Amino acid sequence: MEDKYYISESDFYTWLQENREDFDILMAYYRCAMMEISTKFNVLNEEMSLRYEKRNPIEFIRHRLKTYESIRGKLARKRLSLTIENIELGLNDVAGIRVICSFPTDIYMLADALSRQDDIIVIDRKDYMEHPKPSGYRSLHLIVAVPIFLHDFKKMMTVEVQFRTIGMDWWATLEHKIKYKKDLPDIPKVEAALIDCAQKSYELDLEMQELFKTAMSVSDE
């Protein structure tokens, strides 16, 4: 029996043609939400650079909207029918921002600073730094709701914010390229090696963080 929540590619594109205007408006709202969050981080980065001798905790920020295929697949996995309402209310990660930081402590500082802002609602928080995934993946994830101010009304939109160090981002990017390569030989051995690399990368993050603290304490003296 065919799963009633399965959405074929042809059905999705037929639906998209029929709902193009509403879908494009929703995606525009998500882009506005990402701009709002990015502005908040840029302000925090500027403020931290003034407070801590020109040191910026944020190395760079990336943005992404889920692809059509990702939206279609996630609706099916969550057993949601294809509607504008289900995309907006049922999927919390259509809009995503990745904040790449210098050190692990920067991640927690920025996440807490964002969470304390009075127009931000934290919907979910997952600490994969303290509790890494079985694959070795480390990051801090927040799902937040942020208001966007349009010409005649305010609307709350959800954004997924991922915090990583440079090392975590480097590992995650290469892990994706390696693990999902077709015809990968000896998969358990490769997975074990990736977990080991993730641990070494995190240990190096902590070591560099301590070296930086030492350097800063010497400069203060």
Q: Rg for the chain (alpha carbons), in Å?
A: 20
Helices (H), 19-116: 20-51, 68-77, 84-90, 104-116
Could you confirm whether 2 is annotated as catalytic?
A: no
Q: Is residue 122 within 8 Å of 111, Cβ to Cβ?
A: no
CA angle 16, 66, 191 (to 5 degrees): 135
**Beta bridge partners of residue 140, listed in sequence order:** 127, 163
Contacts of 134 (CB under 8 A, 6+ apart): 195
Distance, CA of 204 to chain centre: 22
Secondary structure class of 65 (helix, strand, coil): strand
The active-site residue, picked from 9, 59, 160, 175, is 160
Q: Give the closest residue to 12 by CA, choosing from 81, 64, 63, 65.
A: 81
Active site residues: 160
